[in-house]
Amino acid sequence: MIKKSSLLSLSVAFISASPSYAEVKPPSLKISGYTVVSASSVSQKNKTSGKGGGIPAIGIGASDLYFTAQGQSEGGFTYKYRMNINAVPFANDTAIDRNFIEFGSDCMGTLQVGGVSGVDDTMTKGGFSLIGGAAGIDGTFGGAYNMSSGVNSGVHLQGYTKRANKISYATPTFSGFQGGISFTPNTSNLGRKRNYDSPNVVNANDSGIYANKDYAAFGLANTAASLTYSNTWQDWSLQLSAIGITERSRLKGQKQLVKVRNLKTWQVSSTVGYKDFRVATSYFDNGKSRLPYDANQVLDTTKNLTTTDLNEGNAGKAWDVAGQYTMGAYQFAVGYFETLRKINAQSKARSQILTLTADFNALPGLKFFAEADFAKSGNTQAAIAQSNAMKADSGCGRNSGNIFVVGTKVSF
């Protein structure tokens, strides 16, 4: 296991190995950002929570403002501070999303410390990475479609740490190979929080497992390691990546800890390109990560919430494949995503999603896009009952539907 002391020693080595400070160019500030405005329409069989009522919606998608201050020595050593504001105009969504310091050079690699994405996000690219439009299942889709209870949704494997406080290092590239490692002491800690502030992760990436996000597991000593290979020759390109994540998982009930299995997840992905065409695929397996060891673990005595037979299932697996074609200012993509998860010893839940996107880069910093999603998700009554046991009236049955999105993105 990677020790915090060794990672801190690495940061000291970065500075001590850098060229003379007399050659340093002071940091200069650069401001950049983008916003996405889209209109969507959804038609689906299951209209739980008022979704899919037939009335088109207009919304602000991803909207970020970046402040980057970077200095550089004549020898190529760079040091950077970066912060970005997630500027969706709603009180709970307007926040500082990233805040980190970075050191790096071509010969030493890149070291990042703070609230930043880890290698579990930056060094793996599956079919979802080719999708344009409103980002498919990683974008507008989740806010429009009623996913069946127990189904894994989204593109990230369990243990994805988002922007929790961490230290992350990516090696230089040698003969096409690059390694990376990220250490997150506590996946529930953001900003000023310390290890003694260890709540369950309300926004944890465990979609479909813990229906009540007030009782969603978090991780201690979360360590993600990755290895990538990339190469190009003539009109061809190739990128391969593998990643594994481990942690000591924790789950807090209302009055006691619930003993859960430690997280162990992995993912492999590949992308092949030829001229203006690219094809990518990925597969991940969460095993039994973060599931209770025993049945009927109490989450909340006041509301009589328990885990029922969640321990008998698994944390799900998923695969995807996508293709992309670029023609001048136009880009087209098609992607297929499928997830499968055991709810208990006998029942399963799955999803199947087909996404089509078209993007038009009209002018520098101005893009128009369109997206169509065709989704189907299924489960059993056992999944609905399991969800209701963890959060009252949260169960959602089988569903299918279509989502259509058009929008524009302005960036600078």
Give yes or no for a contact between 381 and 181, defined as CB atoms under 8 angstroms apart: no
CA 226 – CA 348 distance, rounded (Å): 30
pLDDT at 142: 75
Residues 198-213: tens digit of each pLDDT? 666 655 455 668 888 8
Residue 2: pLDDT band by 50, 70, 90 thresholds?
very low
Its pTM stands at: 0.88
Q: What pLDDT is attached to residue 199?
A: 64
User: How many C-beta neighbours within 10 Å does residue 186 have?
Assistant: 25
Structural domain of 178 = 33-62+123-411
Which residue from 145, 148, 47, 44 is spatially nearest to 383, judged by alpha carbons?
Answer: 148
CATH number of the domain enclosing 54? 2.40.160
Concatenated DSSP letters of 154-222: SSPPTT--TT-EEEEEEPPPBTTEEEEEEEEEETT--TT--TT-----TT-S-TTT-S-GGG--EEEEE
Amino acid (one-letter) located at 150: G
Q: Stretch 383-412: mean pLDDT, rounded? A: 92
**Nearest of 234, 328, 338 to residue 282 by alpha carbon:** 338
Confidence at residue 354, expressed as pLDDT on a 0 to 100 scale:
96
Average pLDDT over residues 132-148: 81
Task: Categorize the per-residue pLDDT at 96 as very low, low, confident or very high, splitting at 50, 70 and 90.
Answer: confident
Report the C-alpha gap between 173 and 376 in whole angstroms: 41
For residue 367, what pLDDT band results from cuts at 50, 70 and 90? Answer: very high
Q: Which of 27, 194, 189 is nearest to 102 (CA)?
A: 27
The mean pLDDT of 26-47, rounded to a whole number, is 91
The whole-number average pLDDT for the span 296-318 is: 92
Report whether 86 contacts 67 (CB < 8 A).
Answer: no
Mean pLDDT across the chain, nearest whole number?
87
Beta strands in 343-398 (DSSP E): 348-363, 366-378
Q: According to the model, what pLDDT value does residue 257 have?
A: 85
Which of 21-25, 37-41, 170-174 is predicted least confidently?
21-25
| Residue of 54 and 127 predicted with greater confidence | 127
Domain-located, residue 21: no
Once rounded to an integer, what is the mean pLDDT over residues 44-65? 79
- Note whether residue 194 is domain-resident: yes
| Residue 130, helix vs strand vs coil | helix
- DSSP annotation of 259 reads P
When pLDDT is averaged across residues 359-378 and rounded to a whole number, the result is: 96
Residue 271 resides in a domain: yes
Residue 289 placed within a domain: yes
Strand partners, 256: none
The whole-angstrom separation of Cα 123 and Cα 119 is 5
Domain count across the chain: 1
Is 7 contained in some domain? no
The answer to whether residue 53 sits within a structural domain is yes
CA distance 237 to 244: 24
Sequence-ordered list of residues with C-beta below 8 angstroms from that of 63, at least 6 positions apart, any chain: 33, 34, 35, 36, 86, 87, 88
Is 174 inside any structural domain?
yes
Type of residue at 274: Y
**65 pLDDT more than 50:** yes
**Cβ-Cβ contacts under 8 Å for 326 (sequence gap 6 or more):** 276
pLDDT band, residue 166 (cuts 50/70/90): very high
Is residue 263 in some structural domain? yes
